[in-house]
Structure 1
Amino acid sequence: MTGALNSPLSPSRACGTLRAIRLLFSIVFWTFLGISSLLLFLGAVVVWALTTPFDRNGLVLHLYSCFWAQLYFYVNPLWHLKVDGREHLPWKGAAVLVSNHESLGDILVLFGLYRPFKWVSKAANFKLPLIGWNMHLNRYVPLVRGDKASILKMLAQSEAWLARGVPILMFPEGTRSEDGQLKPFKDGAFALALKTQCPIIPIVLTGTARTLPKHGLVLETSAHCHVQVMPPVDPSGFHDVAALRDHVRDLIVAEKARLEALSARA
């Protein structure tokens, strides 16, 4: 009996081995992220300096940032990303992109859209070394959650980008979901769409909770992430913010359930 418990095939030994692999994987990932971010930020500064005179909306720098984020998928054979529906995203023209939010990995995944947009992100992210500094260079839009003045400023900046024909991307849940279930949506993105009469483009993420955890630094060793871009929703057919908000949320809930059911059967 004792020999069986101490066997390499025993559950306790297998769990210990898995934890050790995850810890090693996490150390390698965070080390690589730190070193690569330093080098890639220097590259971002060069791109910013060379393109700012003629690229008034920062498209080139944003696409460079897309590559920066996607690098961590390119070099990791255990992380897989599939993007469907990219044809629904405009290269030119205003749109409000809204996505569900499961983990920090959502940011890496959504950069894989490789389309122009400005992030609306919590202000604390702009204070991060290197990555936050790149967010400043890209002129993404900061937000202090719960701060009325910051919310009004965010809406004004977002409206200004939309007026210039640049899409914005928001997480209408406001924060990451703890259990993968969609939280209630806030009104901001939908109020902007109604005011500017820009299409809302729903985006559904699955599998990203297994990339970067909400709490802690130990990563899962493998992840199969899927991004589904849905057809645009015309806000002109909705009489108020709540109706548009609830319609888009229902679309995302239904599509997320469909994708997760397909994944479970695969």
Structure 2
Amino acid sequence: MWHTARAIRTFLSIIFWAFLAVSSTVLFIGAVLIWLVTLPFDRDGRVLHLYSCFWAQLYFYVNPLWRLKVDGRERLPWRGPAVLVSNHESLGDILVLFGLYRPFKWVSKAENFKLPLIGWNMRLNRYVPLVRGDKASIAQMMTDCEYWLARGVPILMFPEGTRSFDGQVKPFKDGAFVLAKKMNCPIIPVVLTGTARTLPKHGWVLDTKADCHVQVMPPVDPAGFHDVHALRDYVRDLIIAEKARLDSGVSTPAQA
């Protein structure tokens, strides 16, 4: 029985990765065309980003074993600065968070921008690269984020810095909260569950089923906190509590 289940998962994984490769080739061509057409009037790349949201969500649309529920999307701005912060469980978080279908710029590892097709699309979108532990790269990342926030474009960061191995929310780094304080814009906590069963951290064989849930929480005004650390710890506690609620299956909605 175990061998049969493993064989099924392997077969489905082969189909998934083959479809991703073929579809990404076609969709990247579409991304280049959209970039060229919209560049004169959409300097912030909002249209291309929304197209990229569809690209990522396509793998949920065609996979009957993956389900995604997004609550609280209306709390996200179409225009105006905001710092979105999310817990981080797997590579699948990227696909899931594109399901927000709102303009924002990702902050992502610099090596992701080197990936064929997907990484090239990240460059077209002018997402923000970061080399972990490199002070010059961190400083440039902060400068780039300030630029987008000043233009009224939200950014999205994983304040844990890397994926959690056990699903527990790791300590947060300060960067997102420094930006929110400096730019006087809201922090919007985003909570993910179920994404650890999408794309594996190691290997290529997928779990056959994933029920993913995204909860966008109410914006947090940084002006109400005396320093960055107080803001950081408050938001982390909010995310931990909301994640526990979602994992427990309690249906009470996030606080309005």
TM-score normalised by the shorter chain: which range applies? Answer: over 0.9
Amino acid at match of 2:33: V
2:21 pairs with 1:38 = no
2:27 pairs with 1:25 = no
Q: Which consecutive aligned stretches of 4+ in structure 1 deviate over 2 angstroms post-superposition? A: none
1:27-71 Cα deviation digits (max 9, x unpaired): 000000000000000000000000000001000000000000000
Q: Distance in 1 between matches of 2:218 and 2:203?
A: 35
2:83 pairs with 1:135 = no
1:77-126 Cα deviation digits (max 9, x unpaired): 11000000001100010000000000000000000000000000000000
Q: Which residue of 1 aligns with 2:248?
A: 261
Q: 1:239 aligns with which of 223, 226, 234?
A: 226
Q: TM-score with structure 2 length normalisation?
A: 0.97
Instruction: Extract unaligned runs of 5+ from structure 2.
Output: 252-256
Q: 1:204 aligns with which of 191, 212, 215?
A: 191
Percent identity between the aligned chains? 78
Amino acid at match of 2:114: K
Amino acid at match of 1:56: R
Correspondence list, 1:175-194, <5 A: 175-194=162-181
* 1:263 Cα offset (Å): 7.1
**Residue aligned with 1:165, SS:** coil
**Residue aligned with 1:213, SS:** coil
**Residue aligned with 2:249, SS:** helix
**Residue aligned with 1:112, SS:** helix
Q: 1:106 aligns with which of 64, 75, 93?
A: 93
Q: 1:52 aligns with which of 33, 36, 39?
A: 39
Instruction: Extract unaligned runs of 5+ from structure 1.
Output: 1-13
**Residue aligned with 1:120, SS:** strand
Q: Distance in 2 between matches of 1:56 and 1:148?
A: 29
Q: CA RMSD in A?
A: 0.9
Q: Distance in 2 between matches of 1:250 and 1:52?
A: 40
1:168-201 Cα deviation digits (max 9, x unpaired): 0000000000000011000000000000111000
Q: TM-score with structure 1 length normalisation?
A: 0.94
Q: Distance in 2 between matches of 1:172 and 1:32?
A: 31
1:141-181 Cα deviation digits (max 9, x unpaired): 00000000000000000000000000000000000000000
**Residue aligned with 2:191, SS:** strand
Q: Distance in 1 between matches of 2:63 and 2:249?
A: 24
Amino acid at match of 1:190: F
**Residue aligned with 2:26, SS:** helix
Q: 1:166 aligns with which of 138, 143, 153?
A: 153
Q: Distance in 1 between matches of 2:163 and 2:200?
A: 10
Q: Distance in 1 between matches of 2:221 and 2:112?
A: 31
Q: Which residue of 2 aligns with 1:3?
A: none
**Residue aligned with 1:121, SS:** strand
Amino acid at match of 1:163: A
Aligned pair in 2 of structure 1 residues 206, 263: CA closer, same or farther (>3 Å)?
farther
Q: Distance in 2 between matches of 1:184 and 1:35?
A: 38
Amino acid at match of 2:153: V
Q: Distance in 1 between matches of 2:4 and 2:190?
A: 37
